């Protein structure tokens, strides 16, 4: 599967670039996607920070949830990416792609990267909106690089997961159902909007194995503290889980055409 790594990377880039072109032909999607994170930060975040119900030592509540909301908007983009392979199957684009000599894993990475690009556009919006709300973020060259890396990896993992689900369920309707069912639990069973320490023990276990928590943790360290402690572990875990779903989904999704 990795027999020609430079070829694979080149093809992934080509496929992602086409997605970006499509986005530029019709950027309305970017604007409509910006609404949700703005509501979470501007309304939910503002309201809860008045209540002071959630302990966030050393941080304001808005600071605490900004990385969580960024994670959420990236994950919500990525988790529906499997829908595209079902749609592409129904229109014949998928079959045509599979008949080209493109390595299977490049077709997966192309999707992951394009979800990542959409995720980065969300990150930009959230950074700008945070500045508007007066949320203090740590913005340095290295922290920005780290944020970009984590957004790409997180988008990649959830895109891969989504493609695996799509290859199993095979129809749009079932996929939409499952997508709805898993997104909110993934989000709530994580450290996105409250610390893991206030959760009941059973939920702590789930939150600890939830890759979303590592994404939030890495982003929170990079965006709020002037350190990189633990970021290496967060990135390492995301790299491993993303590689695992890449391999599984490259094997599984060509079967969606049957």
Choices 21-29, 152-160, 218-226, 240-248 (CB under 8 A): range interacting with other proteins: 21-29
Nearer to other proteins, 53 or 93 (CB): 93
Nearer to other proteins, 103 or 154 (CB): 103
Nearer to other proteins, 99 or 209 (CB): 99
Q: Tell which positions 196-255 bind other proteins, by CB under 8 A.
A: 254
Number of residues that bind other proteins (CB under 8 A): 24
Listed residue (34, 223, 210, 22) closest to 129, CA to CA:
34
Choices 7-15, 63-71, 144-152, 217-225 (CB under 8 A): range interacting with other proteins: 7-15
Nearer to other proteins, 110 or 116 (CB): 110
Site string for other proteins, 103-142 (x = CB under 8 A): ----------------------------------------
Q: Tell which positions 30-49 bind other proteins, by CB under 8 A.
A: none
- Give burial (CB, 10 Å; 0-12/13-18/19+) of 76: buried
Angle 28-39/104-133 helices, nearest 10 degrees?
50
d(CA 86, CA 164): 11
Minimum CB–partner distance for residue 15 and other proteins (Å): 8
Sign, Cα dihedral of 250, 253, 255, 258: negative
Please, are residues 118 and 33 in contact by the beta-carbon 8 Å criterion?
A: yes
Residue 183: count of CB within 10 angstroms of its CB: 16
Q: Tell which positions 169-198 bind other proteins, by CB under 8 A.
A: 171
- Enumerate the H helices of 134-224 as residue ranges: 141-169, 172-188, 201-209, 211-224
Nearer to other proteins, 25 or 50 (CB): 25
Q: Which of 11, 111, 118, 220 binds other proteins (CB under 8 A)?
A: 11
Site string for other proteins, 83-102 (x = CB under 8 A): -------xxxx-xxxxxxxx
Indicate whether 257 belongs to the interface with other proteins (CB under 8 A).
yes
d(CA 68, CA 40): 10
* Residue 10: both structure tokens together: 């080149």
d(CA 76, CA 79): 5
Choices 20-28, 43-51, 70-78, 224-232 (CB under 8 A): range interacting with other proteins: 20-28
Torsion, CA 9, CA 15, CA 16, CA 18, rounded to 10:
150
Indicate whether 26 belongs to the interface with other proteins (CB under 8 A).
yes
Listed residue (199, 192, 151, 223) closest to 40, CA to CA:
192
User: Which residues contact other proteins (rule: CB under 8 A)?
Assistant: 11, 14-15, 18, 21-22, 25-26, 90-93, 95-102, 171, 254, 257-258
């Amino acid at each position: 599967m990795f027999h020609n790594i430079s070829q694979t990377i080149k093809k992934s880039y080509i496929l992602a670039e086409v997605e970006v072109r499509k986005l530029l032909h019709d950027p309305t999607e970017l604007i409509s996607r910006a609404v949700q994170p703005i509501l979470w930060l501007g309304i939910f975040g503002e309201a809860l920070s008045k209540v002071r119900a959630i302990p966030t030592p050393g941080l304001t509540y808005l600071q605490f949830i900004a990385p969580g909301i960024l994670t959420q908007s990236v994950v919500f983009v990525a988790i529906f990416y499997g829908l595209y392979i079902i749609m592409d199957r129904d229109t014949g684009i998928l079959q045509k792609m599979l008949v080209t000599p493109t390595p299977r894993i490049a077709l997966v990475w192309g999707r992951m990267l394009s979800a990542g690009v959409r995720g980065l556009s969300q990150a930009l919006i959230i950074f700008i909106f945070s500045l508007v709300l007066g949320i203090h973020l740590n913005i340095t060259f290295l922290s920005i690089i780290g944020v970009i890396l984590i957004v790409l990896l997180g988008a990649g993992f959830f895109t891969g997961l989504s493609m695996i689900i799509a290859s199993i369920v095979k129809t749009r309707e079932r996929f939409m159902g499952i997508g709805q069912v898993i997104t909110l639990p993934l989000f709530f069973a994580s450290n996105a909007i409250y610390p893991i320490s206030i959760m009941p023990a059973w939920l702590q276990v789930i939150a600890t194995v939830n890759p979303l928590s590592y994404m939030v943790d890495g982003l929170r360290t990079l965006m709020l503290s002037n350190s990189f402690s633990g970021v290496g572990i967060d990135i390492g875990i995301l790299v491993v889980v993303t590689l695992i779903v890449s391999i599984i989904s490259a094997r599984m999704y060509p079967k969606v055409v049957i």
